Structure 1
Amino acid sequence: MTQRWKQRPEGSNWGDFGEDDQIGRLNLLTPERVLAAISEVKEGRSFCLSLPLDYPGGNKLNPRRYPPRRFSTVRDGRANYNYPLSRQGSAFTDVISDDAVLIHTQYSTQWDSLAHVGAQFDADEDGVAETVYYNGWRGGEHVIGPEPGKDCGDHCSQFEGVEASRLGIENMAATAVQGRGVMVDLHAHFGNERVLVGYEDLQRVLDADAVEVEQGDMLCLHTGYTRLLKSMNHSPDLERLNASCAALDGRDSRLLRWIDESGISVLIADNYAVEASPARPGEGLYASLPLHEQCLFKLGIHLGELWDLTELANFLRSHNRSRFLLTAPPLRLPGAVGSPVTPVATV
């Protein structure tokens, strides 16, 4: 295939896993890394790391994302729920219930695909910026949106025919997403205080807890955010949430460099966006989500958001551990730019 770019973004790894790569740092989850992860299982205990998918509740966290809507399928013009399925004489012998769901793929516990965030970047080296995503895949050609200028108000149901024919979440699902998780317990150090965690803060936590991060590890950040969110019982207090719990400082260039040099395969947090959103003001022309740009666009590092990490983090701390086996494939939904996930940690 013809190379899609003549220059790659500074600090990116485009092409390092092949010109046509669509999974980025997941390439580092080799059989050797999976075996190392399995060796972390000591007790055979498993933890579900997903929120119930009707959390956070409402659409205050993101006005464009709504809770799941469940409804019955239809059989013979009737709701196919508690539906009499067969008859013997005058008696029905069995009934059936069958439902469907309309779900926003990034409403609750989720993965971001590499098609979720791209950038305007002069990949052709002709002085004109193009819409491009990780490894030079093109907006409009490989990540296909609706016809330009189409407007249908606040709802997405009329925007049909959108898909990521490259970088879709199905590529992530096909890898099975299994490896060694490493927990960084920010909440144990900062509590519910709103703190922007930069490189120096992160290093202090890693050193204090003797946490080692190796190439291919799946880094998890416990901030306490989803614990606070669950206490709000589907009615999130946005002002309180925005003033609580640690989040990575995406404007810290040393932190972004460490994310690259650490060799992590994915980056996960129990908060809304992994990084503080909105980010601190930048200088000149800058990304509104700098850590998303670094991870999804430049390095091919998938981001996990709104994971439920508190019970696992507490267990690991009480047992003086930070490592575990993590299995977290998304839905194998072709063309999607994100997906719900039900991660499982085994310790």
Structure 2
Amino acid sequence: MATTDAEISFDDLPLEPTGPRGNAWGRFGKDDQLGTLNLLTPERVVEAAKEIRTGVRISLDWPLSMPSHPSFNRDPFKQELVFRSPNCVFDDVLTFNSQGSTQWDGFRHYANQKSKQFYNGHTAEEIQSSNVISMHSFCEHGGITGRGVLLDYAEWAATNSVSVSALESEAITLENLQQAVKHYKLEFRKGDILFVRCGFTSAYNKLNDKQRKDLALRPSPDFNGVEATESMVRWLWERQFSAIAGDAPSFERAPIRGAHADPEFNLHEWVLAGWGTPIGEMFDLEQLSEHCKAVGRYTFFLSSMPLKVVGGVASPPNAFAIF
């Protein structure tokens, strides 16, 4: 039976005892397609709309062509201009990996690696033969719209002389994240959409073409991101975000597996596969950071409409912060 919006203690997880550790399967029903996006109720969207006061709109998408040399052995974006003679008309054909640039990870993207199960217990065989937990459900729901909150960790770190290297495998600790929350006087509400700025897109934009090629060819995709620990997982659950996102390639520290990572608390497994919480990666948060700092306000209305692809695994967000 679905428990929908009811308060559920972290210590009450897993909800489905036959599933992997920490899962919230069945919370919104066994056939649920939206996960924690169910927290974006009409009432919460109406409340979030009160964040719109000046009409300033800021795009949060990096160009589809960035990064110009993707890591994780993914193909780069391609655009083919097609001239439709004899008329003077152009079409263009776009080819891209939905994981290549700014993206929302859908529930078909990452499974619990031990059980090989996706959100709500779906298997790879089900996903290949049906449209369960498909990205287009986000669109049918009206997109991802609600109150966005920027946690500008990169700015806080620079202000407080905390070393940050976005292009190296460094963990943003929960302790430092909490200090940044206190610094910005952030107060979270259930259903908020969290954005953590690590400084990745800013650092990448400063690289020349050779440096970008070399970065993609490294033997290990080393990038900073939030730590994958029990305390971090607990902190995220207790705040009941509807979605979480950042400018880092993996949101959590990359590579997401290895000697530095606790195998029991992989965030993609817990958050995406376990709770049904979309994870956003490589958002362009630079202009947003500048505006938030200038106006002294780190909350906004988020409008994000993923591509309506039936059976979609992930999608560019088509996202705007509106103040």
Q: 1:37 to 1:234 in 2, by over 3 A?
A: farther
Q: 1:263 to 1:102 in 2, by over 3 A?
A: same
Q: Is 1:248–2:248 an aligned residue pair? A: no
Q: Is 1:62–2:72 an aligned residue pair? A: yes
More helix by share: 2
The answer to whether the 8 Å contact 1:55/1:234 transfers is no
Between Structure 1 and Structure 2, whose CA radius of gyration is higher? 1
String of CA shifts for 1:198-257, please: whole Å, max 9, x gaps.
Answer: 222211111111011111000001111101112225552527x9777x51001x211101
String of CA shifts for 1:62-91, please: whole Å, max 9, x gaps.
Answer: 21x11222224xxxxxxx505223xxxxxx
Q: Is 1:27–2:38 an aligned residue pair? A: yes
Partners of 1:109 and 1:314 lie apart in 2 by 19
String of CA shifts for 1:96-155, please: whole Å, max 9, x gaps.
Answer: 11121111111001110011111245xxxxxxxx52111111221x222xxxxxxxxxxx
Which structure 1 residue ranges, 5 or more long, are not aligned? 73-79, 86-94, 122-129, 145-162
SS of equivalent residue, structure 1 residue 143? helix
Q: 1:284 to 1:207 in 2, by over 3 A?
A: closer
Query: Could you tell me which amino acid in structure 1 is paired with residue 55 of structure 2?
Result: G
Query: Could you tell me which amino acid in structure 1 is paired with residue 225 of structure 2?
Result: A
Query: Could you tell me which amino acid in structure 1 is paired with residue 127 of structure 2?
Result: V
More strand by share: 1
The CA RMSD measured in Å over matched residues stands at: 2.5
Q: Is 1:193–2:157 an aligned residue pair? A: no
Structure 2 residue aligned with 1:315 = 291
* Residues paired across the two proteins, number: 295
Shift of 1:281: 4.3
Q: Is 1:265–2:242 an aligned residue pair? A: yes
Q: Is 1:53–2:51 an aligned residue pair? A: no
1:95-244 map, 5 Å: 95-121=88-114, 130-140=115-125, 142-144=126-128, 165-175=131-141, 176-191=143-158, 193-194=164-165, 195-232=170-207, 235=210, 236=212, 238=215
Shift of 1:169: 1.1
Q: Is 1:8–2:40 an aligned residue pair? A: no
Partners of 1:284 and 1:29 lie apart in 2 by 32
Partners of 1:35 and 1:264 lie apart in 2 by 17
Shift of 1:37: 1.3
SS of equivalent residue, structure 1 residue 101? strand
TM-score, structure 1 length as denominator?
0.79
What fraction of aligned residue pairs are identical, expressed as a percent? 30
The answer to whether the 8 Å contact 2:111/2:118 transfers is yes
Shift of 1:295: 0.8
Partners of 1:234 and 1:210 lie apart in 2 by 39
Structure 1 residue aligned with 2:9 = none
TM-score, structure 2 length as denominator?
0.84
The answer to whether the 8 Å contact 1:329/1:343 transfers is yes
String of CA shifts for 1:298-332, please: whole Å, max 9, x gaps.
Answer: 11110110000011112112211110000112101
Q: Is 1:38–2:5 an aligned residue pair? A: no
Structure 1 residue aligned with 2:86 = 84
SS of equivalent residue, structure 2 residue 21? coil
The equivalent position to 2:278 in structure 1, one of 273, 295, 302, is 302
